[in-house]
Structure 1
Amino acid sequence: MSPARTIALAIRFSLREMRGGLAGFLIFLACIALGVGAIGGVNSVAQSISDGVAAQGQTLLGGDIRFQLNQREASSAERAFLDGLGAVSESSGMRSMARLPDGSDQALVEAKAVDDAYPLYGTLQTEPPLVREALFGEANGVFGAAAPDLLFERLHLKPGDRIKLGNATFELRAKLTGEPDAVSDGFGFAPRLLISQAGLNASGLVQPGSLVENAYKVRLPDNASESDIEAVRREATEKFPEAGWSIRNRTNAAPALSSNIERFSQFLTLVGLTALVVGGVGVANAVRAYLDGKRAVIATFKSLGASGGFVFAVYLVQILMISGLGIIAGLLLATAMPFAASAALQSVIPVPAEGGFYPGALALAALFGLMVTLVFALLPLGRARDVPATALFREMGFESRGLPRLSYVAIALAIAIALAALAIFMANDRRIAAIFVGATVFSFLVLRLVSALVQIIAKKSPRVRSTALRLAVGNIHRPGALTPSVVLSLGLGLTLLVTLALIDGNLRRQIGGSLPERAPNFFFVDIQAADVDAFATLVGKEAPAGTLAKVPMLRGRLMALNGVPVDKVKVPPEAAWVLRGDRGVTYAPAKPENATLVEGSWWPADYQGEPLVSFSADEAKALGLKLGDTVTVNVLGRNITAKIASFRRVQWESMGINFVMVFSPNTFAGAPHSWLATLSDKAATVADDARLLNAVTRAYPTVTTVRVKDALDVVNQLVGQIGTAIRAAAGVALIASVLVLAGALAAGNRARVHDAVVLKTLGATRRTLIAAFSLEYMLIGLATAVFALGAGSVAAWFVISNIMTLPWAFQPEVAVGTILLSLVVTVGIGLVGTWRILGQKAAPVLRSL
């Protein structure tokens, strides 16, 4: 018979057999639908956000192209160049302290000063709506301002009240409800205060060396294409090679947001893939149970002359049809997800996440679903292919058979490798994806060993007097036992849950406990060089027990490594932040007290040679730098090339004064700059902090004071939101595990009915059987929880210690919670299925033996 005719006949027989419905395949369908829906939905939502950024790039950026300079304004030549491109809107941003006129309270704000052309795209939204002059205009020495609800709440204000910023007074004339280009300015720790350029000038905040960001947004002619914008960028770089400006265009309006979305979607995709792989165990269980129930039909096929290949084709077609239904259900769920998520995301991400249909994301999810189905269905199908008809009539099922023929194993292995390769290839960070996939494969292998070990221990355990316990131990290691399926299905989900719970718990412990203990009480920014000594005297008077550390600070942007422009340097993702945007830099004649040199030496205090720099050791290693290499940094519109003289260990988690680069003092001779200071006083109370903050703000209104605890509260809130999302994602994998566990127990129901009936016939009571089955599920669940606890702890330790470089601590409450969850899930689901089994009448079962 030709292959085409064989397939056609197999499809006919498959459709006939499926007339009986999908009984036994509900778990199969749920597992596939859940995994496909998670993967397709996550990627669709991410794509919808990316499309929203791209569709409204001009509005989000505030122009077609944006030039940003730090600590300086554009020179006359640079401004003339920008004006020649089209309409230009200039805005200036900096952190500062807004305080009540009587000095009784103050709050950190993200001040943003805009000009008359703002905004070039989009609409500034305030409540009540006001024209520009009414909103920002000056009257009797008082300027107008707008702020969001958060600032009104923090300072207990209402529209019409006044605040002071620097040396100027502002009237809060409206609430800020919509800032079109807010997302392009990046994440802020404080509420926005929107003012005019005239108001900023009157405040006196901008001094030589002040940490101010000046953005110039340009509106190009309406017919400007992407190639035209790229030509403008190249021309700006060529004409002003030492400008040091950061250039973005409308297609890259919010790079930090886009990057975070990519990372988070990658993580959720991998979690979804884990759920799908866990569901694959359910596929294998469902296929095995289904074929076990069809053993008489398969035996009849073979007795009538059907080949093993034909039998394989018939049931493969059925499995693929059922898988197709699960994939379709998952795709429908994934299609609806962007529409459901758009409203929820509006309050979290200031980007339009409109619903839409994303074929690429859905196709990828469908492909993952199909490949997982094949990987886990081929082995039981291959086993059924080679079982002779006599054995099928004689045996209960396929449990006693070994692996199928080598060709089926090879095909399943090839598809599994292709699945792993696809997951890694499609990831944004392939290193993390490879680690994730490798860990999943390793977990599979280890879980098989764990299940085998549990069975060996059960087999070797001494005989006990309790009948129920003896039956439970025997059920764990007997042929066809549920142990491998339960350990594998529940183990992956619990391991992932433990890993994420420990990571989340350690992050919260660091931010809520350890970090505040090690971190300083305050950061003081923008201290003018002429005021630094008087400032130190004031702080010493207000906090005599505190320790004040102060260093000079400038902002610099890495332009080249060893003469190679940074945009042409390939670096690993974990080091990309060093080259992205501006970095704080400093100089020091002597090695800082908190610096530990790991290689090289410090320069003499009176050094006057070529510029030298001490680089952070971990970041230098990631960038591939070595002693004697050079780095080029743009500071205040001037490119400075310095040779690496040393590497030093930096403890970023201390939250003290740390810099990636510390230069020799002669590098920035004569450059205007401000100072940065920290105050540490562990004995200070909240009242002491408030008194100091008030005194500093009154005496030095242009100094920005950041209370570290307040900043950590913002970060803790953000971590809490991310943790909620992560736990929800882990919940998907756990749900898949529960479904697979239910499927595994359902797959073993036929054998359980036989055991229960025989035991009841021999005199066992329902109470004894319930106790035996409960103990069996409890022992298996306990063993699985112990493994998940160990494996999850190792994985979380690796992430916290090696990737996040934070102190690690084991959290016993997670251990207890995991064990309890494991026992509740296994015993609960097991007893639900067992209760129905124990109600079976003995006679019909005994007649069928």
Structure 2
Amino acid sequence: MSQKIKLSGKARAGWIARMAWRDSRGKRLLLLLFTSSVVFGIGAIVAIHSLRENLKRIVDEQARSLLGSDIVLQTRQMPSSELTRFIASLPGEKVNERRFRSMAFFPTAGESRFVQVRAVDGALPFYGEMETIPEGVQSQRAPKPGHAIIEESLSLQMGLLPGDTVVLGSKEYTIEAALLRMAGESELTGFFAPRIYIPLEGIEETGLIQEGSIVRYRTAIGIDSEELPRLLSRIEAEKNTFFVDESVRVETVEDRRQGIESVLNNLLDFLNLIGFVALLLGGVGIVGAVNVYLQGKRETIAILRCLGSSSKSAFSIYLGQMMTFGLIGASMGTVLGIGAQFIIPSLLQSFLPFPIEMRLSYPAILTGLLFGWLIVFFSALIPLLGIRKISPLSAIRSSVESSGSSFRDPLAWLAAGILLSSLLAFTLQQSRQPITGLYFFGGLLVSLGLLSALAWSLRAALRRLRMASMPYAYRTALGNLYRPNNRTLLMVVTLGMGVLLINTLLLVRDGLLGQVNIESSDDAANVILLDVQSNQRDEVIGLLSDTGLPARDILPVITMRVDRIKGKPMREWKTTPDSPVSDWVYTWEFRNTYRDHVLDNAEVIAGSFVPRYDGGEPYPVSLSENVIEDFGVDIGDQITWNVQGVEVETVVSSIRRVRWQAGRQNFNIVFPLDTIEAAPTVYAISVKSPSRLETANLQQSLTKQFPNVSLIDLSLVFKSLEEILNKATFVIKFMAGFTIATGLLVLAGAVISSRYQRIRESVLFRTLGASTRFIRTVLTLEFLLLGLISGLAGLALSVAASWALLRFVFSIPFSIHPFQTGTVLVAVIFLTWVTGWLTSRGIATQAPLAVLRKE
């Protein structure tokens, strides 16, 4: 009978510390590898938290330069005389601006390009800088009369220099400088249509702004800080009344700051949750690795019990080991996060409207360090609690097993509950919207559950599989997947989750790109002509026929805005608590159409589409599904439109589900024939161009004969969108790579933790006459099978997840690219094999005598 050792508290703590240190000899690298499973997860969390703190600081410091002024008033219709007088009565310095898109011709390059024109009558921005080449223009912050400032990308593409010319409509401008950056705008602002700044004076001479043209009329106001409250008070008084009637959108510095913070928070929350997945998988890896590690320490623990040590002391020894090495692992992750925080901003810079200057965020470092250490602690605690069950008799009788199981240990369940509760609390805190956090956490648990169930089912199936006809090496490798101390469950869960994240990202990106990839279709239109006036329609159609590019769809476009919904004026809806009408509806200038059929890229999902209407008002109209909730209407509800000064009553007769694709035009609101044909109309015409050369020739002809008509080359739009999506994809793949790296670390830890068992098996095989080549073949097959199973499991779940996202979130068709999916699978198998092989080197060449003597 053993007698317990009784020591004072201080002496006992010192003895436990010494024993923990001595017992770790020869296993310290292994313990460090175990706790390294959380390094990438902690690094991701520290990096994202630090980036969030820095971005919040920058947004607060540069709040006024993010808007460039104190207030911006914007409307999509020509300002009325009442609105013009009201703006003139406001205090402060004002700059008026008109923004519209048009074609620009560059004589030096002999090419035309779709651009966004910004005509200003003063210096912008009031706050921040307009960075240009040459730098002298920065001080004036506005183009001189007869001059233009063009986007740098446009200058490089066309080979333009200061002094060259650009033709906008019927007027020629001298290029003064190239625009590098405008305060408050990101690099992507001019991605689809490069910016060109020109003086507002003389804009009518270009002939580009005609009836029906899409123009944004903006007024930027800068004022002294002392006068700003009075100005904001006047603006606020008219925000829900006069501005609603005039369709004026108001944006203040605070509005811009909140908008930017909302977008950044959504992005950073998503990236942080990806890092959180890596941290969670690291915790799963620690549970499995510590369990295997303790299996090899059972004899040592039993001997300590025989020598009088209590189960509490034995437990404290190994708990001290895990806490110490957990702190080291958390510290390594924090250092990694500090380094990554200076890399991630460079990946996001093109999406941000301001330069990023990173500083160390000590709250972020402390959060990552503390939370990461807690994950290590509770993950290790679950298997550590089993030490209390080890009997002293285990040291002398190998048949004695620990009484009970961790599945029946209430303390183990308590530790698991605390761990899950902490993870859920962290998820909810990061997601900001509780329902989103719950969905994410629930989906994560379901994925982990499915992967675990798959691993259990696989092991059960392999036990029952008849493998007598297989080569012996194959049978041995398959047997290693279900025999004691196998790592199948751990590998399928960790690697499978990494594959799930990355492949879901790739499939969703491909689905989005598939909606705009019109180059692969022989039939789809790839050129759109906009702002074709009624008196130009027949001539433009004739020009298209003469150039061998006949018009496809010829769609009338009529500008209007909403006056009343369900008989209630818009200003009353604006002041109604919990109004179902979305904010953008109040000030939006709608471009609607009329026709007698539903296009083949849409389907009626409610009500009935009326092709022609010969009755009086209200006219039956068809709304697309995506605006029904924004209007707060349903079938049978009335909408009153202001069609350029004339009220038109309509009733919702049908709802359409539209597949919005490049090359196929459609509209949110469609009138039947014989209703609004008399209203001022412009046309949108789609064309199929066989080559870029044909498109360029058409651009030249249109620019010369119809300078107001804009040509959109959808192939260029697709390439620009692809570049943007690729940049976003790279950022997310960078973070998802943390999860794959975690899985590989867990794999390495699992292989090393079972190294002695594998060496023992290898020696027994060699004693029985097996060759080194046979043993290496078994190891190779086992790692390849683990990679294959994990990859297939992750791919299967990613297909289900991406289908759900594309179907229910983006409402677009789902498709799989076999080559890309196969590449992901091969990459996972290869990485698993390489990692397993590197961490099991030397197993096949161990000397049998050394192992047999140890036995």
> What interval of TM-score do these two structures reach, taking the shorter chain for normalisation?
0.7 to 0.9
Moved more, 465-474 or 167-176: 465-474
Moved more, 687-696 or 57-66: 687-696
**Partner amino acid, structure 2, of 1:534:** E
After TM superposition, give the deviation of residue 121 of structure 1 in Å: 1.8
Q: Contact between 1:31 and 1:279, CA under 8 Å: does it hold in 2?
A: yes
Q: Which residue of 2 aligns with 1:158?
A: 161
Q: Which residue of 2 aligns with 1:438?
A: 442
C-alpha distance in structure 2 between counterparts of 1:692 and 1:100, whole Å = 15
Q: 1:81 to 1:695 in 2, by over 3 A?
A: closer
Moved more, 188-197 or 542-551: 542-551
After TM superposition, give the deviation of residue 295 of structure 1 in Å: 2.8
Q: 1:72 to 1:465 in 2, by over 3 A?
A: closer
Q: Secondary structure at the match of 1:806?
A: coil
| Structure 2: runs of 5+ lacking an equivalent | none
Q: Does 1:320 align with 2:327?
A: no
1:25-104 correspondence to structure 2 within 5 Å: 25-73=31-79, 75-81=81-87, 83-101=89-107, 104=110
Q: 1:484 to 1:337 in 2, by over 3 A?
A: closer
Q: Which residue of 1 aligns with 2:460?
A: 456
C-alpha distance in structure 2 between counterparts of 1:508 and 1:754, whole Å = 53
Moved more, 502-511 or 179-188: 179-188
Q: Does 1:755 align with 2:761?
A: yes
Q: Secondary structure at the match of 2:302?
A: helix
**Partner amino acid, structure 2, of 1:487:** V
After TM superposition, give the deviation of residue 447 of structure 1 in Å: 2.0
Q: Secondary structure at the match of 2:427?
A: helix
Which string of whole-angstrom CA distances, capped at 9 and with x for unpartnered residues, describes residues 86-134 of structure 1?
A: 2222211111111135994211111111112433222333322446889
What root-mean-square deviation, in Å, do the aligned CA atoms of Structure 1 and Structure 2 show?
Answer: 3.8
Q: 1:205 to 1:448 in 2, by over 3 A?
A: same
After TM superposition, give the deviation of residue 829 of structure 1 in Å: 2.5
Q: 1:609 to 1:359 in 2, by over 3 A?
A: farther
Moved more, 691-700 or 761-770: 761-770
Residue 540 (structure 2) aligned to one of 526, 535, 541: 535
Percent identity over the alignment is 24
1:360-759 correspondence to structure 2 within 5 Å: 361-362=364-365, 364-366=367-369, 368-391=371-394, 394-395=397-398, 403=407, 405-428=409-432, 433-462=437-466, 463-464=468-469, 466-512=471-517, 519-543=524-548, 545-554=550-559, 556=561, 564-565=573-574, 569=578, 582=588, 584-588=590-594, 590-594=596-600, 596-602=603-609, 605-610=613-618, 613-620=621-628, 625-629=633-637, 643-653=651-661, 655-662=663-670, 675-681=682-688, 684-759=690-765
Q: Secondary structure at the match of 1:720?
A: helix
After TM superposition, give the deviation of residue 461 of structure 1 in Å: 2.4
Residue 809 (structure 2) aligned to one of 800, 803, 806: 803
Q: Contact between 2:527 and 2:688, CA under 8 Å: does it hold in 1?
A: no
After TM superposition, give the deviation of residue 537 of structure 1 in Å: 3.5
After TM superposition, give the deviation of residue 345 of structure 1 in Å: 4.7
C-alpha distance in structure 2 between counterparts of 1:675 and 1:301, whole Å = 90
Q: Secondary structure at the match of 2:240?
A: helix
**Partner amino acid, structure 1, of 2:495:** L
After TM superposition, give the deviation of residue 273 of structure 1 in Å: 1.3
Q: Which residue of 2 aligns with 1:105?
A: 111
Q: Contact between 1:10 and 1:310, CA under 8 Å: does it hold in 2?
A: no
Q: Secondary structure at the match of 2:235?
A: helix
Q: Secondary structure at the match of 1:501?
A: helix
Q: Secondary structure at the match of 1:221?
A: coil
Q: Does 1:189 align with 2:197?
A: no
Q: Contact between 1:10 and 1:313, CA under 8 Å: does it hold in 2?
A: no
**Partner amino acid, structure 2, of 1:458:** L
Which string of whole-angstrom CA distances, capped at 9 and with x for unpartnered residues, describes residues 244-279 of structure 1?
A: 222111133266654443332222112111111221
Q: Contact between 2:187 and 2:350, CA under 8 Å: does it hold in 1?
A: no
After TM superposition, give the deviation of residue 39 of structure 1 in Å: 1.9
Moved more, 486-495 or 697-706: 486-495
C-alpha distance in structure 1 between counterparts of 2:355 and 2:403, whole Å = 54
C-alpha distance in structure 2 between counterparts of 1:767 and 1:807, whole Å = 49
Q: Does 1:121 align with 2:127?
A: yes
Residue 247 (structure 1) aligned to one of 244, 247, 250: 250
1:124-143 correspondence to structure 2 within 5 Å: 124-130=130-136, 136-138=143-145, 143=146
Q: Secondary structure at the match of 1:626?
A: coil
Q: 1:505 to 1:184 in 2, by over 3 A?
A: closer
Q: 1:184 to 1:128 in 2, by over 3 A?
A: closer
Q: Contact between 1:183 and 1:254, CA under 8 Å: does it hold in 2?
A: no
**Partner amino acid, structure 1, of 2:607:** G
Q: Which residue of 2 aligns with 1:785?
A: 791
Residue 173 (structure 2) aligned to one of 150, 170, 173: 170
After TM superposition, give the deviation of residue 63 of structure 1 in Å: 0.8
After TM superposition, give the deviation of residue 790 of structure 1 in Å: 1.8
Moved more, 398-407 or 381-390: 398-407
Q: Secondary structure at the match of 2:375?
A: helix
Q: Contact between 1:615 and 1:661, CA under 8 Å: does it hold in 2?
A: yes
After TM superposition, give the deviation of residue 518 of structure 1 in Å: 6.0
Instruction: Tell me how many residue pairs correspond in the alignment.
Output: 838
Residue 146 (structure 1) aligned to one of 140, 144, 149: 149
C-alpha distance in structure 2 between counterparts of 1:149 and 1:112, whole Å = 15
Report the TM-score when normalising by structure 1.
Answer: 0.88
Q: Does 1:215 align with 2:218?
A: yes
Which string of whole-angstrom CA distances, capped at 9 and with x for unpartnered residues, describes residues 569-621 of structure 1?
A: 588xxx98976974643142645545533222446534542466432125426
Q: Contact between 2:187 and 2:353, CA under 8 Å: does it hold in 1?
A: no
Moved more, 313-322 or 435-444: 313-322
Q: Contact between 1:371 and 1:416, CA under 8 Å: does it hold in 2?
A: no
| Structure 1: runs of 5+ lacking an equivalent | none
Which string of whole-angstrom CA distances, capped at 9 and with x for unpartnered residues, describes residues 404-429 of structure 1?
A: 50331243034314413531442156
1:346-361 correspondence to structure 2 within 5 Å: 346=349, 349-358=352-361, 361=364
Q: Contact between 2:35 and 2:376, CA under 8 Å: does it hold in 1?
A: no
Q: 1:103 to 1:831 in 2, by over 3 A?
A: closer
**Partner amino acid, structure 1, of 2:32:** L
C-alpha distance in structure 2 between counterparts of 1:369 and 1:57, whole Å = 34
Q: Contact between 1:633 and 1:641, CA under 8 Å: does it hold in 2?
A: yes
Q: Contact between 1:287 and 1:380, CA under 8 Å: does it hold in 2?
A: yes
Residue 301 (structure 2) aligned to one of 298, 301, 326: 298
Moved more, 397-406 or 700-709: 397-406
After TM superposition, give the deviation of residue 739 of structure 1 in Å: 0.7
Q: Contact between 2:617 and 2:648, CA under 8 Å: does it hold in 1?
A: no
Q: Which residue of 2 aligns with 1:287?
A: 290
After TM superposition, give the deviation of residue 7 of structure 1 in Å: 11
**Partner amino acid, structure 2, of 1:277:** L
Q: Secondary structure at the match of 1:724?
A: helix
Q: Secondary structure at the match of 2:280?
A: helix
Report the TM-score when normalising by structure 2.
Answer: 0.87
Q: 1:400 to 1:470 in 2, by over 3 A?
A: farther
Q: 1:43 to 1:8 in 2, by over 3 A?
A: farther
After TM superposition, give the deviation of residue 224 of structure 1 in Å: 5.8
Moved more, 530-539 or 706-715: 530-539
Moved more, 80-89 or 482-491: 80-89
C-alpha distance in structure 2 between counterparts of 1:634 and 1:254, whole Å = 33
After TM superposition, give the deviation of residue 388 of structure 1 in Å: 2.1
